[in-house]
Amino acid sequence: MPSAIDYQIMWNRLIAVVEEQATTLIRTAFSTSVREAGDLSAGLFDRQGRMMAQAVTGTPGHVNAMAESVTHFVREIGMQNIFEGDVFITNDPWLGTGHLHDITVVTPVFRKGLHIGFFACTAHVVDIGGRGFGPDAGEVYEEGLLIPITKFAERGTVNPLLISIIRANVRTPDQTVGDMYSLAACNEAGDRRLQAMLDEFGIDDLEGLSDFLTESSRKATREAISNVPDGTYRHTMTVDGYDQPVELVVTLKVDGDRLNADFSGTSGMSAFGVNVPEVYTRAYACYGLKCAIAPSVPNNTGSLEPFEISAPEGCILAAKRPAPVSVRHVLGHLVPDVVLGALHQAMPGTVPAEGASALWNIQISARPCDPDSGLQNAEILMFNSGGTGARPTVDGLSATAFPSGVSTMSVEATEHVGPITVWRKDLREGSGGAGETRGGLGQVIEIEARAGYDFWFNAMFDRVDNPARGRDGGRPGAAGRVELTDGTPLKSKGRQKVRNGQRLRLSLPGGGGFGDPEKRDRSQVAADIEAGVVSPSRAAKDYGYSGENS
């Protein structure tokens, strides 16, 4: 019987196992969203479907939603139908990670002929058919191909009919199917490393280790929650939505070592694809709360269970089938700002101001101006980030994805996969909200089609009508803008055309400031002016700064 010290050592080793799992996915992926941005997750689960360890590489939305989805695989497949060499797959938004573009692959782990657990991973593919990655659909059926929980491979043999169906329904068949094989390879790499670890420690199952991890993490998380003052804390936030503003409302109730977050009062479902399945809402609500309350506790089933998250079915954060959910990240990424706003009432001086939060993803469909030119169609996906909110003692981060944590794709990698030129990509002066600590800056990005091409783009942007708010006297960050470089305004959501010779400009929002701007250190204001973060005139207006002696 391993000791607690043995289990602690094995716990640390599991992180290396799942990191290699994630690294394999990045190395072998076809989609830029995976290999460049790291829009993925990877983890190890026990035989019951409890998440034991997650890779640091990956997004909270994928990881925390996947923590629930593996149990759906166990139920739908049935223990009696799980065989060595099997690989399972789905992109069901309500049983997976929230929209059709995320494909989750689960592989059972066997040792000496006995089933002992699962590896699981998720990745965002560039195309899954339908309307493409965008918010315009009226039902999930329009958004692409839904793959129910099924077997990608059985006893080592890939299902040829499934592959044929997928290839026939997507614009990028080689890329999409290639990513599925990459996901399976990712789990196989994790399996190899796990088997070597079990050989080293001389054990043949995961149950004892999983019990230790789950109970230790649950206990540590409940102890952390008990340090939060008891009470009821309510917070609201208005965001853009699609055709009308959306009210996000949360009530936190803290009682001893129990914490409940209830989203009653939140707006109802939209007719467009900004709706969020509840699994994704829970994923990001848990993440925001855990970051503030128990950041040092490893992320697994035990550390997630103490956070009780609920939303009334039919609200925009608990969308019902067959609601369109393609860009569920837009509101989902704003959920941490809502729960942190409530938590600020209980733990002042702990959480940051609101940030840009939602990624400014853009899906571009490049099409030849002349259909008979012989030029090829192309699908291009870019991930871009605005500024994060200022923290109580430190400035916000510029052009940084929080809460998703994904990387911005390089210009070179983006231009390589399609006929576009990114003419400009730099920090947006003055976009960070003023405060004792300043909000992070957004970006300005300009994109043009190359000769012979127009492009359509799917806009899925927020913080245009409702910028990130400051906290404790901090000023809001700059609102986002979508336009052509000649000043023609464009919509912040929906499919739009940019003709050859026109140039699209995206001005990404900044993060809110924290605290009274008049209290900002004068040397920091001077440094911001020197770095081009803020103009002298804006420094005078926001900070009352007029020079070295002010």
Report residue 213's pLDDT band, with 50, 70 and 90 as the boundaries. Answer: very high
Of the candidates 167, 210, 132, 58, the one whose C-alpha atom is nearest the C-alpha of residue 495 is 132
Mean of the pLDDT values across residues 362-373? 94
Q: Which helix (H) or strand (E) holds 420?
A: strand 420-427
Residue 550 pLDDT exceeds 80: no
Mean of the pLDDT values across residues 349-368? 96
Report CA-CA distances (Å) from 485 to 94, 120, 478, 481.
40, 44, 19, 11
- Give the span between the Cα atoms of 268 and 470, in whole angstroms: 26
Domain boundaries, the chain: 4-218, 352-519
Residue with the bigger pLDDT between 521 and 6: it is: 521
Residue 158 pLDDT exceeds 80: yes
Residue with the bigger pLDDT between 46 and 8: it is: 46
pLDDT tens digits along 171-211: 999 999 999 999 999 999 999 999 999 999 999 999 999 99
Burial class (CB in 10 A: 0-12, 13-18, 19+), 156: exposed
Contact (CB, 8 A) for 227 and 79:
no
Report residue 294's pLDDT band, with 50, 70 and 90 as the boundaries. Answer: very high
The 10 Å Cβ neighbour count of residue 227 is 11
Residue 549 pLDDT exceeds 60: no
Range in 52-61, 233-242, 496-505 the model is least confident about:
52-61
pTM: 0.95
The Cα diameter of the chain in Å comes to 77
Q: At what angle do helices 278-293 and 335-346 cross, to 10 degrees?
A: 40
Measured at the CA of 402, the angle between CA 513 and CA 266, to 5 degrees, comes to: 85
pLDDT for the residue numbered 1: 73
Range in 28-37, 154-163, 349-358, 473-482 the model is least confident about:
28-37
Mean predicted lDDT score pLDDT of the chain: 95
Mean of the pLDDT values across residues 451-466? 97
Report residue 548's pLDDT band, with 50, 70 and 90 as the boundaries. Answer: low
Contact (CB, 8 A) for 31 and 123:
yes
Residue 215 pLDDT exceeds 90: yes
Residue 129 pLDDT exceeds 70: yes
Range in 5-9, 186-190, 272-276 the model is least confident about:
5-9
Residue 58 pLDDT exceeds 90: no
Residue 288 pLDDT exceeds 90: yes
pLDDT for the residue numbered 463: 98
